Amino acid sequence: MIGRFLYFALLLGPIVEIAVFVLVAQSIGFWSALAGILLLSLVGAAIMSRQGFSLVAEIRTTIGAGRMPARALADATLVGVAGLLLLVPGYVTDVLGLLLLIPPLRHGFYRWLAHRMGIAPAAQAGRPSGPKVIELDNDEFRSP
């Protein structure tokens, strides 16, 4: 299933990008359309850089507190995917990359992906699901 999706994405992606570029170039001019792609890429790269440094700091803080930084790692992965989309020239990939850089949209995508993969929500991920175990020494134990 994933292989078919990837095949069609690699096949149709460039065709869609070219079609969108031609439509934009017809309406605003070739050089303006080219400048728009460059501007989108530069703005996205600046935002990605800033969010990337912020996420690295969050990961360090979370690890320093002794917790697993699952959410921060997922955000960092999505910011990396956004960066890759911004590197590909074209309006469609630039817009998708910029959308992944918006934290509320990234959060929604993360929740959708976690639900789709059957992962527990972050609020419940840290709670133990089984019975609590309390270890006692022999002198601390009393028979009922």
Q: Which residue is associated with the tokens 């509320």?
A: 104
Tell me what pLDDT residue 125 has.
46
Separation between Cα atoms, residue 39 and residue 128, nearest integer Å: 48
Cα–Cα distance for residue pair 4/10, rounded to 1 Å = 10
Give the predicted TM-score (pTM) of the model. 0.67
How many Å apart are CA 24 and CA 30, to the nearest integer? 8
Return the closest-CA partner of residue 98 out of 41, 36, 50: 41
pLDDT, tens digit, 9 for 90 and up, residues 31-75: 999 999 888 888 878 887 888 788 888 888 888 888 888 788 888
In this predicted structure, what is the pLDDT of residue 1?
66
| pLDDT, tens digit (0-9, with 9 covering 90-100), for 68-109 | 887 888 888 888 888 888 888 889 998 888 888 888 998 888
pLDDT the model gives residue 124: 45
Task: State residue 29's pLDDT score.
Answer: 93
* Range list of H helices, the chain: 2-28, 30-64, 70-87, 91-100, 103-117, 122-125
* Distance spanning both ends of the chain, measured CA to CA: 59
pLDDT digits (tens, 9 = 90+) for 9-21: 888 888 999 999 9
The dihedral sign for the CA sequence 122, 111, 11, 93: negative
CA–CA dist 22, 36 (Å, integer)? 13
